């Protein structure tokens, strides 16, 4: 389990143990599921996870999901107002020792592109 009690380490040695990563998702629902998973399974405080569109425009992702879909009734067309303007990105702090397990968890929730920094 990731222990992020020291999200702002005081020593340079502690700083080296904390990495960050970004992960991109096709839908807002996938990104929200990833945040929930990181919080519940890895103990990462959601307040330290940034969720934002990759592009400059507001976006719900690149694919419709959940409330962004049409109602499913034959008389309704796809919703034209769903802001599908690009991928959703998470930025999250991760202890170096947990990078592999967190990266695996993000892929399982739908991450398309993961970069460590």
Domain ranges of the chain: 14-69+82-116
- How much of the chain, in percent, has pLDDT values that exceed 90? 46
Flag whether pLDDT at 73 surpasses 60: no
List, as one string, the DSSP characters of the chain. Answer: ----TTSS-SSHHHHHHEEEEEEEESBHHHHHHHHHHHHHHH---GGG-EEEESSSS--SBSS--GGGS--SSTT----TT----B-EEEEEEEEGGGHHHHHHHHHHTT-SEEEE-
Tens digit of each residue's pLDDT (9 = 90 or more) over 31-71 = 999 999 999 999 999 999 999 888 776 655 555 555 555 55
- CATH 3.30.70.120 for the 14-69+82-116 domain, yes or no: yes
pTM above threshold 0.75:
no
Give me the percent of the chain exceeding a pLDDT of 70.
61
């Amino acid at each position: 389990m990731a222990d992020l009690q020291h999200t702002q380490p005081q020593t340079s040695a502690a700083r080296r143990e904390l990495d960050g990563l970004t992960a991109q998702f096709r839908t807002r629902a996938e990104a929200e599921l990833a945040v929930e998973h990181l919080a519940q399974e890895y103990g990462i405080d959601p307040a330290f996870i940034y969720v934002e569109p990759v592009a400059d425009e507001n976006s719900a992702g690149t694919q419709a999901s959940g409330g962004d879909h049409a109602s499913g009734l034959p008389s309704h067309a796809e919703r034209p107002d769903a802001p599908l303007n690009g991928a959703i990105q998470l930025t999250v702090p991760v202890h170096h020792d947990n990078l592999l397990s967190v990266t695996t968890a993000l892929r399982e929730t739908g991450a398309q592109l993961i970069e460590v920094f």
